[in-house]
Structure 1
């Protein structure tokens, strides 16, 4: 598609977004009348507010009040649904919601077309002569054995070490480098990958990621096939290199994120491994109310957030496709940290999250440095899923292009997050005029 056709497509997508948005706004008035529309808004918004408030009380209260709150959270949407049905207005709500959904789809199509993502640069990579791979047979429910990764890697010329018991993977990787390894790789969780990636970055060696962990967030954001860990081994014979950033927290490497506050405190509990749900429900009320845990202060570049209950610092920012912006990372080479803070001190703050309030409740920033301080000498931090106790102030920095990642030439790739809807930009697109170019007339001399 040429530039002119692409521009016209964007304009019509933007116009369609406004048309469907108008339908969503006008449908209740046309079919329910002004009084009915007011009733719809009051009932719908009231149901959402009550549900959100009840869920907050469920998370922050103990005993009977907690379960009463859960009951209200379940019943509120049902009551709203019944009221709409009895008023014969359910179809109007469905029509308005469908039109609003189509409007958002058209808006994002127009904005995405105008901002095509730039792919990460790939560099030619000769096949390694002495690849060294560390594999954790217990990771991901036994994927190393299930996909026969050790044998396949050895057939491709790699030296493989299977982790048994307590092993210092950093020393293991450094010893391999001393013996002449020219590539380091890991088949395991993100925490193990981060430690070995740090060694690879220190020695400027390529790093291979094999998605044999449970969630494989780093592999996902690299565009690897998480459903087939063995496909990652193709990088040993037909691979390319990407330069990606590496996060550091008090000098320790991380490839995904570091979490502070509520999550870090809960994961620190010995009971969390045995019963995650019960531990969360038991600890969350006191943590959210500030009765336990340490008070945090986050310094994100020039921004200071005082007293958030949760902080997440990521190696490159996450997308903005959901409430907290924790969908995935489109790029790993932007040279900045992402930082998300959550402060929910009362029911009003919890309800404010529905509107994605950025003042008190939820903040999202990017910076090259994030410093988290507290009123304690040490605080728990979840670093790539591992619970650590770190000295305060905790300093997170980004090392741009520090890691050479070897990936297969053929791989699924990353899914680009949907852009946030900017109605001002959409208005400019929708009102743009296009003129067709006329072919130049030719003259013929006699």
Structure 2
């Protein structure tokens, strides 16, 4: 008991000192420009903030203009930050700014380290032990992810492990859903995909419909679903270990107008851009060609989204995700901490001018950004059909589009040994940090006071 108490107290002491280091770093980061620059330093900091706003405005005009105005906007977006840097350098304060930014990074890192163990626990999805499949069936796309199927020998390994593999032919368009249904009719007891997220969603829906386990092989380009399942994206062949040494995770599956999705469905700007046949070969050029009219409302549908009692009117973009994405950790953007919360994530964006674009980037609570969760989302439009992107694939769905989530409808078989999903960083709470830094024992952290066994209120850990 004494050893356990000592180890716990040592950990709490490290947390307290980390909190104090965080507060000290943030204090120095604020004071440095004042100490070395005085009033001029304050004015330069305000100028830097203005320069950042001008840069964002320039980026907005770059996306919403054409021809000479777009070229001028690009020039503005590039020269504004360079001008601010030159001003700081001329005042001999550039090193102060760089040191101040370094201290801010240190403050954030040490603050999150201090808060990481104060009651926050990583989300763990329950693993279900089941026997290995006897007749697994896998669909593999040889073109996906830059020919990962061939480079990692995925077909050969899967067949050695007893799986039946069907390779998709680039010259022959095959119905993946029908292939999966035929495999089930032939007695397959597991369905799997080595390919992109769009193909995975189609086969996953068939697996969920028949109550069969589903296998994900991270052979796509971005592998978002595999990443959030904690699979090894660097070695797709390791995913096949689930065929012999695996466990099951029961996760949610999203549907948009009857179409399944494992990641998200996009309405508005992206949903329209992805329809263009040129998008696959030239994403940036195609987007820049379409965005001016889409962002300014000259083309594209006028949308209305309803979710959780809220109404989003005329958003330029609506993203509905199978479980919400992280927002409190910049390093975790585009990641989902869990896939079994039973709710959809909803992100709506409406920006009408450059000032609102700057506010959207600089203010996490900007009015143009709507973030919520819901069990169902309904998206309406001023036309009978809506262009959407479902897991990156282009679809045109009749309006209104009803999005829903099927909680834990999908049995995903994963290797027992896998990298796992990184723990989400706790949001910075400066008030909690101050309490933790001022604490002299465990009281502020766990509710236990520090002291010997004779002290009042002390509770030993058992």
TM-score tier after normalising by the smaller chain length: over 0.9
What does the per-residue CA deviation read over 1:91-111, in whole Å, with 9 as the maximum and x for residues that have no partner? 111121111111111222222
Contact 2:267–2:318 (CA under 8 A) maintained in structure 1: yes
Counterpart position of 2:145: 140
Displacement after TM superposition at 1:176 (Å) = 1.0
Contact 1:184–1:196 (CA under 8 A) maintained in structure 2: yes
Q: Is the aligned partner of 1:431 residue 2:435?
A: no
Query: Cα gap change, 1:232/1:141 in structure 2, threshold over 3 Å: closer, same or farther?
Result: same
Counterpart position of 1:156: 161
Instruction: Single out whichever of 227-236 and 355-364 deviates more from structure 2.
Output: 355-364
Displacement after TM superposition at 1:113 (Å) = 2.0
Counterpart position of 2:19: 14
Q: Is the aligned partner of 1:90 residue 2:94?
A: yes
- Distance in 2 between residues matched to 1:425 and 1:304, nearest whole Å: 34
Q: Is the aligned partner of 1:25 residue 2:44?
A: no
1:362 to 353, 361, 369: 369
Counterpart position of 1:243: 250
Displacement after TM superposition at 1:431 (Å) = 3.4
Correspondences of 1:38-53 after superposition (within 5 Å): 38-53=42-57
**Which secondary structure state, in structure 1, belongs to the residue aligned with residue 157 of structure 2?**
helix
Displacement after TM superposition at 1:304 (Å) = 1.5
Displacement after TM superposition at 1:155 (Å) = 1.0
- Distance in 1 between residues matched to 2:330 and 2:12, nearest whole Å: 30
Contact 1:190–1:218 (CA under 8 A) maintained in structure 2: yes
- TM-score under structure 2 normalisation? 0.91
User: Structure 1 regions of 5+ residues with no counterpart?
Assistant: 442-446
Counterpart position of 2:444: none
Counterpart position of 1:382: 389
- Distance in 1 between residues matched to 2:90 and 2:51, nearest whole Å: 16
Displacement after TM superposition at 1:321 (Å) = 4.8
Displacement after TM superposition at 1:324 (Å) = 11
- Distance in 2 between residues matched to 1:322 and 1:440, nearest whole Å: 43
Contact 1:264–1:381 (CA under 8 A) maintained in structure 2: yes
Displacement after TM superposition at 1:360 (Å) = 2.2
- Distance in 1 between residues matched to 2:186 and 2:44, nearest whole Å: 72
Counterpart position of 1:229: 236
Counterpart position of 2:421: 414
Q: Is the aligned partner of 1:280 residue 2:287?
A: yes
Contact 2:329–2:424 (CA under 8 A) maintained in structure 1: no
What does the per-residue CA deviation read over 1:301-329, in whole Å, with 9 as the maximum and x for residues that have no partner? 12221111111111111111567984211
Contact 1:320–1:420 (CA under 8 A) maintained in structure 2: no
Contact 2:64–2:293 (CA under 8 A) maintained in structure 1: yes
- Distance in 1 between residues matched to 2:160 and 2:279, nearest whole Å: 40
Instruction: Single out whichever of 214-223 and 104-113 deviates more from structure 2.
Output: 104-113
- Distance in 1 between residues matched to 2:350 and 2:301, nearest whole Å: 14
Displacement after TM superposition at 1:158 (Å) = 0.8
Counterpart position of 2:459: none
Instruction: Single out whichever of 38-47 and 227-236 deviates more from structure 2.
Output: 38-47
**Which secondary structure state, in structure 2, belongs to the residue aligned with residue 113 of structure 1?**
coil
Counterpart position of 1:444: none
Correspondences of 1:280-359 after superposition (within 5 Å): 280-321=287-328, 326-359=333-366
What does the per-residue CA deviation read over 1:68-107, in whole Å, with 9 as the maximum and x for residues that have no partner? 1101111111111111111111111112111111111122
Contact 1:372–1:394 (CA under 8 A) maintained in structure 2: yes
